[in-house]
Amino acid sequence: MPVGIEEVIGRIDEWKGGSISYEPLGGGITNQNWTVAVNGEKFVVRIPGSGTDMFIDRDNELDCSMEAGKTGVAPNVIHHLKPENVSVVRFIEGKTLGTSEIAGSDALITRIVRTIRKIHTAAAFKKPFDPFDTVRGYMKYVAEHDAPLPADFGRLKATADEIEEAVKRNPPAEAACHNDYLSENFLDDGEKIWIIDWEYGGRGDPYFDLGDFAVEHPFTNAQEELIIREYGGKDDPVGLYRMKLHKISSDWWWGVWAMIQSRVSGIDFDFLKYGNDRFDRLRKNAGDPDYKTWIRDV
C-alpha cells in the first residue's frame, strides 16, 4: 500500500510544528495527489500509486523534474522522500487546462508549443526514451500478468514496426521530452504555461513529444500545421509527417501500457476501455489516406 499523507507530512522536518491542512487534489490516473498548506504556503504532494514502479524509473523522474524546474517550465522539487519516491513541489496558482479548452484556442496551442520548445532546448535529460523499445520491454509484463491484447495485435505491431523503421531513417537531434501531454499536465497562471508530472520524461525524438501532445487533443489539420510552424518557425511537411506518425506510436505505447495496468493497478479506473480506445484511434490514424506518404517522405 502507498504511504499515507499524514505519514508523509510527519516525515518532513521543515513542516513539524507548523499549522498544516491538506486535501485531495484531482488529476492523474495512477498516483495520489494532495494539496498541503503549511503556515499559509501551499504545496503539492504526489504519492506514487501501487504497481507504477514497473513502468517508471523514479530516479529518472526526479532528474527530469529537477532539470525541468531549472528552466522555469516546471515547479521546483522541494522534497523527495525515499524509498517511496514521494515528491513535493510548490503549488502553482493557476488553472488546470482541459482537452476541449486547448483544442478550442489557437492562442493557447501556440503558448503551449512555445513552452514545449523551451524544455526541448533548455533542459538536458540523462536517460533515453524510445516508445518502441519501451513497448518491447513491456511485453514481459504482458506475459507475466496475462494482459489482454486486441485480436489484431499482430497487425498493430506490424504498423508500429513500419513507423519505427520510417522515423529512424533520418532522426532529428534528441531533446528533453515529457512524453505524457495530457491536458491536465498543463497549468496556466495567466502569464505562463507550466508543465507538471515528469514520470515518463526522457531524452528522445522531439516529434514524438509533439505527436503525443497532438494525439491527446482533437486538433484540426490546420492546428497540427500550426504546431509545427510554431515549433520550427516555418512550415515543415516532413516535421508534420513525423509528428503524425508519432501520434500513432504514442497510442501504440499507451495502449499496451493500459492493458498491463488493467491487470496490475489497484486504482478505480477503466484501463481496459482506455487501452481499447487508444487502439481504436491507432487504427483510424493508420488508415489515413496520406499514411503511406508520411511513411515514404518522413
pTM above 0.85, yes or no: yes
Write down the pLDDT at residue 27.
63
> What is the band of 248 on the pLDDT scale with cuts at 50, 70, 90?
very high
**In the structure grid, which three cell numbers stand for residue 8, read together?**
508523509
Residues carrying CATH 3.90.1200.10, the chain: 95-297
Residues carrying CATH 3.30.200.20, the chain: 5-90
Write down the pLDDT at residue 51.
63
Residue 185, pLDDT > 90, answer yes
From residue 250, alpha-carbon distances to 25, 38, 109, 132, 166 in Å are: 27, 39, 19, 9, 15
- pLDDT tens for each residue of 112-141: 999 999 999 999 999 999 999 999 999 999
Domain 95-297 falls in which CATH fold? Answer: Aminoglycoside 3'-phosphotransferase; Chain: A, domain 2 (3.90.1200)
Domain 5-90 falls in which CATH fold? Answer: Phosphorylase Kinase; domain 1 (3.30.200)
Task: Report the candidate in 284, 279, 287, 283 with the shortest Cα–Cα distance to residue 259.
Answer: 279
